[in-house]
Amino acid sequence: MHIFTGHTGEVYGVACSPVDTTLVATEGGDDKGFMWRIGQGDWAFELQGHSDSINTLGFSMDGQLLASESFDGTIRVRNVASQSLKYTLDGPDAGIEVLIVYGTCGCL
């Protein structure tokens, strides 16, 4: 069992890497998201840049990318290994409610 200590509120969602059983991402009621390495202490890094709550997370099928979408109307795609932001996709002002990584192509 692992206790997620980075969030100051409830954890609303968890995404698990499809290729690395120790790598997970979480979103919480504190408007924060984190990427974690289970068994290696606290969170690996915070998913920064959204101006509102993150409400969906998803890894690409190969585990190389992590997409986070927010009620701020953006999707941010990060490189998992380098933790760097690769893309920011702008959506509707009202926010995006569902994020699906589709098939082996890794399409959003």
Q: Are 32 and 56 in contact (CB under 8 A)?
A: no
The pLDDT score that the predictor gives to residue 4 is 64
The pLDDT score that the predictor gives to residue 98 is 54
Q: What is the pLDDT of residues 85-108, one digit of tens each?
A: 998 988 766 555 555 554 555 554
The pLDDT score that the predictor gives to residue 85 is 94
Cα 38 to Cα 94: distance, rounded to the nearest angstrom: 34
Q: Is the torsion defined by CA of 73, 18, 41, 82 positive or negative?
A: negative
Question: What's the pTM?
Answer: 0.80
- The CATH number assigned to the domain with range 11-90 reads 2.40.10.480
Q: What is the pLDDT of residues 38-86, one digit of tens each?
A: 877 666 788 988 888 888 899 998 999 999 988 888 889 999 999 999 9
Q: Are 66 and 80 in contact (CB under 8 A)?
A: yes
